[in-house]
Structure 1
Amino acid sequence: MPGAPECKLHRIKHLCSASPQEETDITASHLLIFNLDDQRYALPLAGVQRVIRAAAPTLLPQAPEIVVGILDLQGTVVPVVDVRRRFGMPQREIRPEDQFIVARARSLNVALVVDGTEGVIEDDPELCVAPERIVPGMEHVSGVTRTVAGLVLIHDLSRFLSLEEEDSLREALASAPG
C-alpha cells in the first residue's frame, strides 16, 4: 500500500512530539511495536526519540560487538546497535527498508536496527506477564504482553547495554576521529 510507512511514521512522530502533559499521558502506558524477522518486540515509548529510515553506518573501531557503527544524526554522533546480535539471532546486512529506532539506553542515545515498526499500542498491565514465566534468562526483556496478533516481548532499554559495553562504547566514541 503506497504511503503506508510514511503514515505509520507520522503517527509515531505525532505521539513522540506531543505536548508535555500529553507526553506524560501517552508515554507512561504506550509501547512502540517493532519487528525482527517474524518476531514482534516492543519498547516503552517514553524511551523512544524517533524512528528513521536505515542508512549505512560508519565503522567505529574498538566498539562492543553489538555496535555496527555510528551515524551523524543532525550533528550528534549516535551508535548503531544490532538488536539481532543482542538476541542471538542470525545476523544480516542493514537493508534500505530497515528502520532505526533512536532511543535512550542507560545514559546513551542509540539507534537500534529493526526490520520495521508497526505502530504504538497502549500497554495493559493486566495482560503483561513477567518474562521469567515465559522466556527465562532473557535479561533484556522486562515483560511479555498479549495483543490480538500474539505475544510481544517488551525490551528493557535500561538493561540493553551492560555496564562494560557502555564503558567500552564511550571509550570507542571518545577515540573516534572527528
Structure 2
Amino acid sequence: MSGNNVYENTPEEDTQRDKYLVFSLGSQDYGIEIQYVTEIIGIQPIAGIPDLPEYIKGIINLRGTMIPVMDVRVRFRMEPLPYHDRTCVIVINIMDEVLGLIVESVSEVLTILPGDTVPAPDITAGGGFVTRIGKTVQGVKLLLDCGRLLRDAELEISGGSRQPNE
C-alpha cells in the first residue's frame, strides 16, 4: 500500500469518470467529457477576427479573459443556423488552453460506461472528431475528442498548416 491515503484507487476517487455533457446539433446528440467543461454560458457578443476560418467565429470576453469561440455546427460542415435563446457556449479547458464551443442546446450530463461505447467507424462525419459512439437508453451519442477540437482551433488561429481534407 503506497502512502497513507486509504481511498487511493477507489471508484469514488474520480467523480467525473465516464460522464459526458450532451449537446445537440440538429437531431443528433453529441457528448464531450465533463472533465473538460468549465462552464456553460449563454451566447454572448462575439468580436470577429479577420482571416480565420468560417467556423472560428472570433473571441468573447468572459470576465476579462478573451476566449476564442468555434461554431461546432459550422465546423462539422452543417448548414449554419441563426443563434437563438437556447444557443450556448460550452467553455472547455484542456491543460490550461481554453476554447468556447457554440452549440444549439445543452441537454444533460450522462454516465456512459466504456462497455456501452464502440469505436467510431472511419466514415464518421465530423472530420475525425468523433472517437466513440455511446449507446444509451435515450439513443446514440457521438462522443467527441475535445483535445482534437482544441488543437484544430489553435492551428487555425495561429495560422498553422492543415492537412488536406481536415
> TM-score range with shorter-chain normalisation?
0.7 to 0.9
Shift of residue 133 of structure 1?
A: 6.5
On the 8 A contact 1:94/1:113 being kept in 2, the answer is: no
| Distance (Å, rounded) in 1 between the aligned partners of 2:143 and 2:15 | 17
Runs of 4+ in 1 over 6 A off after TM superposition: none
Residue in structure 2 matched with residue 169 of structure 1 by the alignment: 157
Q: Deviations over 1:77-112 (max 9, x none)?
A: 001101011111111222232111001367631111
Question: Aligned residue for 2:124?
Answer: 135
What is the TM-score normalised by the length of structure 2?
Answer: 0.79
Q: Which runs of 5+ in 1 are unaligned?
A: 1-20, 172-178
* Alignment correspondent of 2:85: 96
Q: Greater shift after overlay, 39-48 or 126-135?
A: 126-135
Q: What corresponds to 1:57 in structure 2?
A: 46
More helix by share: 1
Q: Is residue 2:107 matched to residue 1:118?
A: yes
Change (3 A) 1:137 1:33: closer
Instruction: Give the TM-score taking structure 1 as reference length.
Output: 0.74
- Alpha carbon RMSD of aligned pairs, Å? 2.6
Q: Say which is worse superposed, 152-161 or 59-68, in terms of deviation.
A: 59-68
Identity score, percent: 29
Asked whether the 8 Å contact 2:76–2:125 carries over to 1, the reply is no
Structure 2 CA distance for partners of 1:137 and 1:103, relative to 1, 3 Å: closer
Is 1:72 matched up with 2:64? Answer: no
Whose Rg is larger? 2
* Aligned position for 1:14: none
